[in-house]
Amino acid sequence: MSTAVKLGVAACIVAGVTLYMAYLGTTSSWKYYLTVDECLADAPALIKQPMRVNGRIVVGSLDITTARQHATFSLAGSGGELPVSCTGPLPDNLAEDMDVVVEGRLDDSGSLLGEKVLTKCASKYASEKETIATTVPPSSAGGRLR
Amino acid sequence: MRMMGQICLLAAFVGVSYSAFACVMGARWDRRDLLRTGLASAVGGVFALTLVVAVLSGALLVRDFSFNYVAQYSSRQLPWHYSLSALWVGQAGSLLLWAWMLGLLALVFRFWPWKQPSPIRDPAFGILMAYCGFLTATMVFAADPMEANIAPGEEGAGLSPLLQHPAMLIHPPIVFLGYAAWSVPCALVIAALFSRRVAPGNNPPNDSITGAMSAVHMPLDATWVRIARPWALVAWTVLGGGILLGAYWSYEELGWGGYWAWDPVENGSLIPWLVGSAFIHTLMTWQFCGMLKKTSVALAIVAFGMCNFATFLTRSGIFSSLHAFSQSPIGWLFLGLMLVLGIGGAVLIVQHRHSLVADKSLTSLLSREAFVIISIVALLLMATVTVAGTLSVALSEAIVGRRVMVGPAFYNNVLLPIGLVLLATLAAAPLLRWGAPPTTRQKQALWYSALATSVLFVVVLWRGVQHPLALAVAWLAAYSVAALVASLVLETWQRNAQRPWLGLLRTLVSNRRLYASFVIHLGFVCIAVGVTGSSLGSQRHELVMKPGEVTQWAGRSIRFQRLIERELPGKFVVEAELEISSDGKNPYYLLPAQHLHRLQDQWTTEVAIHSTWGSDFYTILHNGEGRDAVRLTLVENPLMRWMWLGGWVMVAGAGVRLWPSYRRSNQRRQPPVRHLRPPNSARRQRRELETASS
C-alpha cells in the first residue's frame, strides 16, 4: 500500500468519525428556526418541539417578576401574537418593543415556554433603532438594584 | 467639513479605481508610464481616504451632530476615546476604516524595500487597489459616512454601553486589519497566475505564440509563495488576536460566564482564520517539498473569500444573530464578490492545473509534510463544519424544506475529535523532517518524549482528572512541550556538545524562524488547554446573600460585606463587595456591579473576576432581593488564564517569526526569476531592429 493511499485511508477514517459526530451533535442540539407567524401557523405540529423564535416584544406586554427570574411577554407577528413565558436569569436590557430571540418549546396551550431569552447584543453596525430601544424603568423592572 | 469629506470620498473612489486599472494593465502591457500614473493615483486615493477618516474622527471628537453618523453613535456624555471608537461602530464607519487600512497596507506592500523586485508586485498592487475601490464604492453608493443629519439636535444617541469596554476600542480595527491583510496573498496568487511566471530553469519555447500557449504547462514559480508567507502570517496573527479580543470582551462584558457562543458573527471571523491556518501550512509544503500547489492557490482565494463571507453574514440579515446588525444591501454585494472570486479562482486553477503539478509525491507517513497534510485536513474539516453549522438554517430549508439550526453541541461534538488530531500532529512536529522519516536519534527522542509525558499523565490522573478528553489534551500538551525540548537538546548536542549553552544559542539563532513557529504551536496548545479546562470543569452556583452572610463554595469562603452605591458621570453604579478567601488567610475582594447608563436608560452587568493560573473565579451581580440582599451567580472557570496566555504566546511567536533577517537574505540572494515576457531592453532592441529594417 503506497503512502498516499495510507494517508487517504486515514483521511477517510477522520472524515467518517467527523460525520458520525456531526450526526450525533445535530440530533442532540437541533431546533426549529422560526418567525412568530410560522410558529403560530404550525402550532399544533410544533408542540413540545425545540425551537428558536425571533420576534419583537409587544409594547405593554412585558411583565418581569421582582426576583427578575421570570418574565412573560408577547411576541408580535403580522397575524397575531405569541405568548411567551421565560424562566431563568434575564438579559440586562430586556425591554418592550425590542427584538429578542427565545429558545424553548411550545406547550399544549400554544404558549412558548422559554428556556433562554436573548436580546441582541448591541454590537458594531447596530442601527439606531436597535441600540437605543427604551428599557423598562428600573423602578418597575422588578428587583433592580435601587 | 462634511462637504470636504464627501469630495475626498469621491476623489478616493476615482483615485483607487484608476490605480487598479493602470497598475494591472500597465504591468500587462509593460507600460511604465501607465504604472507611474497608477501609483501616483493610488497614493492620492489613499491620501483622500485618510482625509475622510480625519474628517469623521474630528466630527466624532467635537460631537458635530450635523453628521448623521455622529448623531447615531456619539453623544456629549461619552468619553473622548469611546467617541472616537464610534468610528468603527457603525456600518459606514467600519467600511471606511476597512478601506483605509487596506489602502495603507497596499502602499506598504508596494513600497516595501524588497530585496528581489518581482514583476508580480505591480499587478498584485493593482488587484489590491481594485478591492479598495470596491469598498469605497459601497460607501459612495450604499453607506455614506458623510451623510447629513436632516434635523441635528443638541445630543446624539450615544454608544451602546456594552461597547464601552477597552477591548472594544481595538477589537474591530484589529479584525478589519486582519481581513485587509488576507487580501494580499490572494492578490499575489492571482497576479502570479495571470503573469504566467515559470520557475528558473524551465525555458519556455521561443516562439511567442506557442510560448504563451505552453506557459500554463510550466511549473509556476514559487516567488509569490515567498512573498505571501509573511503577509499570510501577519493576517493570521492579527485576525487571531482580534478574535481572542472579541472573546475576552464577551467574557468580561456580557456577563454570562462564557466567551464563545457559536453565533454566526463569531463563526464568520473564525472561518477565515481556520482556512488561513491551513493556507500557511500549504505554503510551507510548497516551499519545502513542492507539494500542495493547487491547494495553496485555492486556499489563498478561499481565505480571502471567507473574509467577505463574514461580512455577508453580518450584513445580509439572513441570519438571526445575537449581534444586532442592521440589514442593508451591501451584504449581497459582498456575496457577489465572493462568488466572482470563487468562480474566477476555480477557472484559474483549472486553466493552470498543469503548472501546479506537485514536484514529488509523499514518501513517508512519518515525514513532516505528511503530518502537515493531516493538520491541513483537520483545519479544513473544522472550517467546513463551522460553515455547515452556520449555514444549517439555509441548508436545511433547501434539503428538507424546514429551517433547522444546530446548537453548540453540534460544534463541540465535531470539533473536539478533530482538535485532538490537530494537537497530535503539531505535538510531534519538532522531531520530524521534511522529505524523509525521522532519523534514529529523532525516533528515540520521540519515544523518550512519550515516556516522560506518560509520567506526567499518571500525575494528572492521580490528581483526580478523570475525563478522557481532559487526559488526552493534557497528554498531548505535555508531549508537545517534551518534543520541542527534545528537538532543542538534539540540535544543541549536534552543534556543540562541549558547551551546550553556546550550542543552544546557536541553534536558536540559526533556526529562529523554525523555533518561532513551534512557539506559535505552543500558543495553540495553551489555548487548547484553556478551552478544555473551562469547558469541562466549569461550575456555576446561583444564590441570594444578605450583608454579612458567608457561604462556602468551590473551596472558597465567600462573604457578602455590603452594597455600595456610587454616582459616576453618566451612570449610577451599584456594587456588591465580596470578601473571598481560599485558605482563610489571604482574603481578596471582588466588586461585581450593575451600572445604570443614564443616557440609554439601560442597566449593564459588570462582572468581577479573580484570575489565577488554576482557575478564574467569576462573580455576577444580578439584582436586589429586598433589604440589601442580592442575587449573585458564582462561576468557577478552570484554566481560563491559559487561553489568554496562548494568544500572547502566538503573537510573540509570530513577531519573532516575522522579524526580518537581513544577513541571511543577502546570502540567499538569487538571480531574478525569468519572466515569459522579454525584458524592456530586449523589446527596445527588437523594436529598433524592426524600425531599421523597415
Q: What is the 3-state secondary structure (H, E, C) of B377-390?
A: HHHHHHHHHHHHHH
Contact status, residue B52 vs residue B5, Cβ threshold 8 Å: yes
The beta-carbon neighbor of A122 closest among B324, B605, B622 is B324
Residue B201, Cβ density class (10 Å: 0-12 exposed, 13-18 middle, ≥19 buried): exposed
* Mean pLDDT within A122-137: 35
Contact status, residue B642 vs residue B264, Cβ threshold 8 Å: no
pLDDT at position B692 over 70: no
Note the pLDDT of residue B328: 64
CATH of domain B1-159: 1.20.120
Beta carbons of A31 and B407 less than 8 Å apart: yes
Asked which of B311-320, B410-419, B666-675 is least confident by mean pLDDT, the reply is: B666-675
Q: Are strands A31-35 and B404-405 parallel, antiparallel or unpaired?
A: antiparallel
* Mean pLDDT within B101-126: 86
Is B630 in a helix, a strand, or coil?
strand
Kindly report, residue by residue over A92-126, the tens digit of the pLDDT: 778 888 888 898 999 988 899 998 888 765 443 34
> pLDDT averaged over chain A?
76
Beta carbons of B410 and A22 less than 8 Å apart: yes
Residues in A closer than 8 angstroms to B292, CB to CB, are none
* Minimal CA separation from B351 to chain A, in Å: 25
Note the pLDDT of residue B625: 64
B249, B623, B627: best to mutate for the A interface, most A CBs within 10 A: B623
Beta carbons of A146 and B565 less than 8 Å apart: yes
Does B666 touch chain A if contact means CB atoms closer than 8 Å? no
* Mean pLDDT within A35-51: 89
Higher-confidence position of B529 and B626 = B529
Note the pLDDT of residue B236: 96
The beta-carbon neighbor of B406 closest among A30, A99, A123 is A30
Note the pLDDT of residue B624: 67
Beta carbons of A93 and B604 less than 8 Å apart: yes
Beta bridge partners of residue B672, listed in sequence order:
none
* Mean pLDDT within B632-640: 92
pLDDT at position B403 over 80: yes
Note the pLDDT of residue B579: 94
Asked which of A73-87, B196-210, B519-533, B579-593 is least confident by mean pLDDT, the reply is: B196-210
Does B406 touch chain A if contact means CB atoms closer than 8 Å? yes
Note the pLDDT of residue B663: 57
Does B567 touch chain A if contact means CB atoms closer than 8 Å? no
Give ipTM to 2 decimals.
0.75
Kindly report, residue by residue over B620-631, the tens digit of the pLDDT: 988 766 667 888
Does B402 touch chain A if contact means CB atoms closer than 8 Å? yes
Does B417 touch chain A if contact means CB atoms closer than 8 Å? yes
Measured from the Cβ of residue A117, the count of other Cβ atoms closer than 10 Å reads 21
Residues in A closer than 8 angstroms to B624, CB to CB, are 143-146
Note the pLDDT of residue B29: 86
Note the pLDDT of residue A132: 30
Residues in A closer than 8 angstroms to B361, CB to CB, are 3-4
Asked which of B18-32, B90-104, B675-689 is least confident by mean pLDDT, the reply is: B675-689
pLDDT at position B216 over 50: no
* Residue type, position B600, single letter: Q
Beta carbons of B322 and A121 less than 8 Å apart: yes
pLDDT at position B693 over 70: no
Kindly report, residue by residue over B26-58, the tens digit of the pLDDT: 988 888 899 999 999 999 999 999 999 999 999
* Mean pLDDT within B281-290: 91
Beta carbons of B324 and A11 less than 8 Å apart: no
**Within the 601-620 window of chain B, which residues sit less than 8 Å (CB to CB) from chain A?**
601-605
Please provide residue B586's backbone torsions phi and psi, each rounded to the nearest 5 degrees.
Answer: -115, 80
The beta-carbon neighbor of A125 closest among B94, B405, B631 is B94
pLDDT tier at A66 (50, 70, 90 boundaries)? low
Beta carbons of B321 and A15 less than 8 Å apart: no
Measured from the Cβ of residue B4, the count of other Cβ atoms closer than 10 Å reads 13
Contact status, residue B192 vs residue B115, Cβ threshold 8 Å: no
The nearest alpha carbon in chain B to A117 belongs to: B322
pLDDT at position B102 over 80: yes
Beta carbons of A128 and B265 less than 8 Å apart: no
The nearest alpha carbon in chain A to B402 belongs to: A32
Note the pLDDT of residue B639: 92
**Within the 456-515 window of chain B, which residues sit less than 8 Å (CB to CB) from chain A?**
none
Q: Order the strands of the B608-611 sheet from edge to edge.
A: B539-545, B630-638, B615-624, B608-611
Beta carbons of B265 and A123 less than 8 Å apart: yes
Beta carbons of B625 and A25 less than 8 Å apart: no
**Within the 572-591 window of chain B, which residues sit less than 8 Å (CB to CB) from chain A?**
572, 574
Note the pLDDT of residue A125: 36
Q: Percent of chain B having pLDDT more than 90? A: 44
* Minimal CA separation from B374 to chain A, in Å: 7
Kindly report, residue by residue over B309-356, the tens digit of the pLDDT: 888 877 665 565 555 445 567 778 888 888 999 999 999 889 888 888
pLDDT at position B687 over 90: no
The three grid cell numbers given for residue B48, joined into one nine-digit string: 483622500
Does B378 touch chain A if contact means CB atoms closer than 8 Å? yes
Beta carbons of B601 and A122 less than 8 Å apart: no
* Mean pLDDT within B580-607: 85
Q: Percent of chain B having pLDDT more than 70? A: 88
Residues in B closer than 8 angstroms to A121, CB to CB, are 162, 254, 322-324
Higher-confidence position of B222 and B193 = B193
Asked which of B184-193, B196-205, B437-446, B574-583 is least confident by mean pLDDT, the reply is: B196-205
Kindly report, residue by residue over B243-262, the tens digit of the pLDDT: 999 999 889 887 777 888 88
Note the pLDDT of residue B196: 63
Closest by CA position to B477, among listed B415, B420, B517:
B420
Beta carbons of A7 and B374 less than 8 Å apart: yes
Contact status, residue B348 vs residue B279, Cβ threshold 8 Å: no
Kindly report, residue by residue over B139-185, the tens digit of the pLDDT: 998 888 888 888 777 777 777 777 777 877 888 899 999 999 999 99
How many angstroms separate the CA atoms of B319 and B329, rounded? 14
Q: For chain B, where do the domains classified as CATH 1.20.120 start and end?
A: 1-159
Does B72 touch chain A if contact means CB atoms closer than 8 Å? yes
Note the pLDDT of residue A136: 31
pLDDT at position B484 over 90: yes
pLDDT at position B383 over 60: yes
Residues in B closer than 8 angstroms to A15, CB to CB, are 381
pLDDT at position B685 over 60: no
